[in-house]
């Protein structure tokens, strides 16, 4: 287990439609299930100027990292030294690609740019910093985790659109890296929290809303898109420890909503 993490065992059963092909996966031979099970490391990018200012900052290509964010990214290789990472992906936003570079250099892996794992678009709330805008954004996206996919971000996506793109990206990774150990995806705070809350069988929306996801925090899952996912751990601090945290940052995407 990584430092500064909470482990998860068991949890609430979810009354939701099964992931695509789940019924077919239930009939796979045991060795096929084992082959397709993967360890998925969803890594939040390092700190950005928008995080410090409390901006709902989701547009492409987005900002780079702060000096602290760069140090957070440099801490990733050491934190993941015991993870058998065989593939490394980043979103289409610049901050994730910069965050992935130290890990890419250490592992000798190319960073593959993966469409679909970018941050949830803020729509009409883009760049806003006030508490009401934060509340409206987060309440909308966590409503999706709770099953209200029809709810729409003001002038932005609904839950069907978000889960459609993120699920497709994860399915692509699973198909490319099945049986390859751990796969690291550098993604975004709200996107990771919302997707994991819905797709991990042993947590729910309330868990994700209550738990901080710091910059370079990692949400680790095991499973596959057909049989489902189990949350293994959820970071409450940057992977380099509290010395790399920024308690003064407003950062709506990573904070609790309670």
What's the pLDDT tens digit per position in 108-122? 999 999 999 999 999
Residue 13 has pLDDT above 60, yes or no: no
pLDDT for 225-246, tens place per residue?
999 999 999 987 898 888 899 9
CB 166 within 8 A of CB 197: no
Say how far apart CA 40 and CA 22 lie, in whole Å: 18
Does residue 113 form part of some domain? Answer: yes
Q: What are phi and psi of 51, to 5 degrees?
A: -60, -45
Domain coverage including residue 188: 41-244
pLDDT for 169-182, tens place per residue?
999 999 998 777 89
Say how far apart CA 44 and CA 79 lie, in whole Å: 14
Task: Fill in the DSSP letter of residue 200.
Answer: B
Does residue 18 form part of some domain? Answer: no
Does residue 8 form part of some domain? Answer: no
235's CB contacts (< 8 A; 6+ apart) are 2, 4, 5, 213, 214, 216, 217, 218, 219
Q: How wide is the angle at C-alpha 175 spanned by C-alphas 113 and 253, nearest 5°?
A: 45
CATH number at residue 56: 3.40.50.1240
Does residue 117 form part of some domain? Answer: yes
Say how far apart CA 33 and CA 196 lie, in whole Å: 21
Does residue 161 form part of some domain? Answer: yes
The stretch 62-88 carries a mean pLDDT of 97
Does residue 2 form part of some domain? Answer: no
pTM: 0.87
247: confidence class by pLDDT, cuts 50, 70, 90: confident
Take residue 188 and report the two structure tokens written for it.
């975004």
**How many domains, the chain?**
1
Q: What pLDDT is recorded for position 115?
A: 98
Catalytic hit among 36, 47, 74, 119: 119
Averaged pLDDT of the chain: 88
Q: What pLDDT is recorded for position 241?
A: 86
pLDDT for 144-166, tens place per residue?
999 999 999 999 999 999 999 99
Residue 2 has pLDDT above 80, yes or no: no
Does residue 33 form part of some domain? Answer: no
Residue 19 has pLDDT above 80, yes or no: no
16: confidence class by pLDDT, cuts 50, 70, 90: very low
45 catalytically annotated = yes
Does residue 11 form part of some domain? Answer: no
């Amino acid at each position: 287990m990584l430092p500064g993490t909470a482990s998860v065992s068991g949890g609430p059963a979810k009354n939701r439609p099964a992931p695509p092909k789940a019924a077919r996966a239930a009939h796979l031979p045991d060795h096929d299930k084992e082959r397709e099970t993967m360890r998925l490391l969803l890594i939040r990018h390092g700190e950005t100027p928008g995080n410090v200012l409390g901006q709902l900052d989701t547009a492409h290509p987005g900002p780079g990292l702060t000096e602290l964010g760069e140090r957070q990214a440099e801490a990733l290789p050491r934190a993941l030294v015991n993870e058998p990472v065989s593939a490394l992906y980043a979103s289409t936003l610049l901050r994730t690609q910069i965050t992935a570079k130290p890990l890419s250099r250490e592992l000798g892996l190319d960073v593959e740019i993966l469409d679909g794992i970018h941050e949830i678009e803020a729509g009409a709330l883009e760049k806003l910093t006030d508490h009401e805008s934060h509340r409206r954004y987060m309440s909308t996206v966590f409503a999706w985790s709770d099953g209200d996919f029809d709810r729409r971000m003001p002038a932005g996506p609904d839950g069907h659109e978000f889960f459609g793109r993120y699920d497709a990206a994860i399915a692509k990774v699973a198909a490319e890296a099945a049986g390859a150990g751990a796969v690291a995806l550098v993604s975004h705070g709200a996107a990771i929290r919302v997707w994991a809350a819905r797709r991990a069988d042993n947590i729910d929306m309330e868990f994700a809303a209550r738990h901080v996801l710091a910059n370079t925090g990692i949400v680790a899952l095991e499973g596959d898109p057909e049989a489902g996912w189990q949350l293994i751990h959820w970071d409450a601090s940057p992977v380099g420890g509290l010395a790399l945290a920024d308690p003064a940052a407003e950062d709506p995407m990573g904070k609790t909503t309670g």
